[in-house]
Structure 1
Amino acid sequence: MTARRPALRPALVAVVAGVLAAVLWWLAQDLVVVAPPARATDVSGGDVARTVVDPRLLLAAALAAAVALVAATVAVLRAIARPSR
């Protein structure tokens, strides 16, 4: 199976790593509702939603995206490579 389709394995790795990167990026973000600062005059009695990012998950998402890019490049290069025989 790999002899006829040498680009299949890196292509699957690229897809899985890309999906993992998207899921980790989504999990890295979180909304936290906090009280407004004391000096804020434009907030009228409500709470403020702030986005908090977990840097470890964001780093893991960036590394998964890098693996996806490298695997996709390898898959494309293997798919266009011509046999020397």
Structure 2
Amino acid sequence: MASPYVPSFIKDPQAVLDFNWDWSAWLGEEETIAEKSVTADTGITVNSSTIDGGVVVAWISGGVAGTAYVVACTIKTSAGRTETRRISVSVQLR
């Protein structure tokens, strides 16, 4: 069975960066993001997250150099649909 594609990103352990999940193309006409949750593997921190139209933006910090973490964004829409997308954040000294 093939693994789903998970986008990968690199950040320095000292960096605090914003990561975006763009749901715009997935949302139906007049459907909005009603709720969101951004969670991460232990060792990396989700400082905050917001909804900006059809995009969820999360600010992420920390992590140990040489370690990859999975960060998941789960939304519930105004139409009652729920979906999750994941990214991989590899922490490297830059």
Instruction: State the TM-score bracket (shorter-chain normalisation).
Output: under 0.3
* TM-score where L is the length of structure 2: 0.21
More strand by share: 2
Q: Which has the higher contact order (CA 8 A, sep 6+)?
A: 1
Rg bigger for which structure? Answer: 1
* TM-score where L is the length of structure 1: 0.23
